[in-house]
């Protein structure tokens, strides 16, 4: 278990952990994990995917944005307008919806990747046959 505290004077993260053998991940490591394109690194830059998946991704992005705004507004209501925020169960329901959408996006992403790789392999085989 690790705890990280931030030293305000030096701007450095300090590791105060029980297990000192595990280093603390830097911000650049975390950023790289989120921005590295795992698919493009292993395959062609341009491939064909089913349009329905593109539409599903667009609708899912819109849904996630809306759900995130609902949670944000609910959590900020007491300070913004003194309105009653959503209850705990409503927050959990919204977060569960986001999780389900994320799972669906993962399935759609895997399907798009499989389709793209299958098409890339078929294109390679066609090129070899015609050469």
Task: Tell me the per-residue pLDDT of 52-80, one tens digit each, with 9 for 90 and over.
Answer: 888 889 999 999 999 999 998 888 888 88
- Contacts of 10 by beta carbon, 8 Å cutoff, 6+ apart: none
Least confident of 16-25, 91-100, 116-125: 16-25
Q: Which has more pLDDT, 11 or 123?
A: 123
Q: Which has more pLDDT, 50 or 111?
A: 111
Q: Which has more pLDDT, 10 or 37?
A: 37
How far is Cα 131 from Cα 126, in angstroms, rounded to an integer? Answer: 9
* CA-closest candidate to residue 15, choices 25, 4, 6: 4
Question: What is the pLDDT of the chain when averaged over all its residues?
Answer: 75
Domain positions in the chain are 1-36, 39-130
């Amino acid at each position: 278990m690790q705890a990280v505290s931030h030293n305000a004077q030096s701007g450095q993260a300090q590791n105060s952990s029980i297990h000192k053998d595990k280093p603390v991940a830097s911000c650049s490591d975390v950023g790289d994990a989120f921005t590295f394109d795992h698919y493009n690194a292993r395959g062609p830059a341009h491939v064909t995917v089913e349009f329905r998946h593109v539409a599903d991704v667009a609708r899912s992005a819109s849904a996630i944005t809306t759900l995130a705004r609902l949670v944000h507004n609910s959590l900020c209501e007491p300070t913004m307008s003194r309105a009653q925020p959503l209850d705990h169960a409503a927050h959990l329901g919204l977060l569960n919806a986001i999780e389900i959408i994320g799972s669906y996006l993962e399935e759609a992403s895997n399907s798009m990747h499989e389709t793209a790789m299958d098409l890339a392999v078929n294109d390679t085989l066609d090129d070899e046959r015609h050469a």
